[in-house]
Amino acid sequence: MKMRLSKKSEYACLALIDLSESYEKGAAKIEAISKRKRIPKKFLEQILIALKRAGYLHSKRGNDGGYWLAKDPGEIKVAEVLRLMDGPLAPVDSVSQYFYRPTPIERHPRLHCLFKDVRQQMIEKIEKTSFADLIR
């Protein structure tokens, strides 16, 4: 089994932390976030657009443009962001909550059950943790 936090997820979290830290202090430019959190700018662009499309951010173009949070940091859970960036959190599709699909492992109930537990254990914490929790 491989559990990996992709750079995309990692950068998305760092960007949201940055925006949470300056919540209600106006728009932040890509350039600024990129420098503060050391994220490649063009890569960050794509990530912010994805977050915007998913409804987590607002933006404005032009001289005093930038991004800002569309929700309270307390309402954005880490798990949502990881799912948005990398897809299902489950180790196999047959134990996935939102992306269920049958797999060979289902034929072996105990093994299936084990990975269901693993998923549950893992997910518990990140479904509770919000970005407000991360900046406190």
Partner DNA sequence: TCAATGTCTACTAGACTGGTAGAGAATAGG
Partner DNA sequence: CCTATTCTCTACCAGTCTAGTAGACATTGA
Convert residues 16-55 into a mask of x (bound to a copy of itself by CB under 8 A) and - (unbound).
Answer: -x--------------------x-----------------
The identity of residue 92, as a single letter, is: V
HSE-up of 108 (CA within 13 Å, CB side)? 6
Give CA–CA dist 80/16, Å, rounded. 12
User: Phi first, then psi: what are they for 77, rounded to 5°?
Assistant: -95, 145
Sign of CA dihedral 43, 48, 51, 53: negative
- Distance in Å, CB of 35 to DNA, minimum: 12
Q: Which stretch binds a copy of itself (CB under 8 A): 7-15, 24-32, 42-50, 54-62?
A: 7-15
Question: For the chain, how many residues are written?
Answer: 136
From the list DNA, a copy of itself, none, pick the one residue 64 interacts with, judged by a Cβ distance below 5 to 8 Å according to partner type.
Answer: DNA
Q: Could you say whether residue 119 binds a copy of itself (CB under 8 A)?
A: yes
- Using alpha carbons only, give the angle 3, 128, 57 rounded to the nearest 5 degrees: 90
CA dist., res. 131 & res. 56, Å (int): 12
Which residues bind to DNA, rule: CB under 7 A? Answer: 2, 6-8, 27-31, 40-43, 45-46, 48-49, 52-53, 59-67, 86
Q: Is 100 helix (H, G, I), strand (E, B) or coil?
A: coil
Nearest approach in angstroms of CB 17 to a copy of itself is: 7
Which residue ranges make up the site for a copy of itself (CB under 8 A)? 1-6, 9-10, 13-14, 17, 38, 78, 82, 86-87, 89-92, 103-105, 108, 110-111, 114-115, 117-119, 121-122, 124-126, 129, 133-136
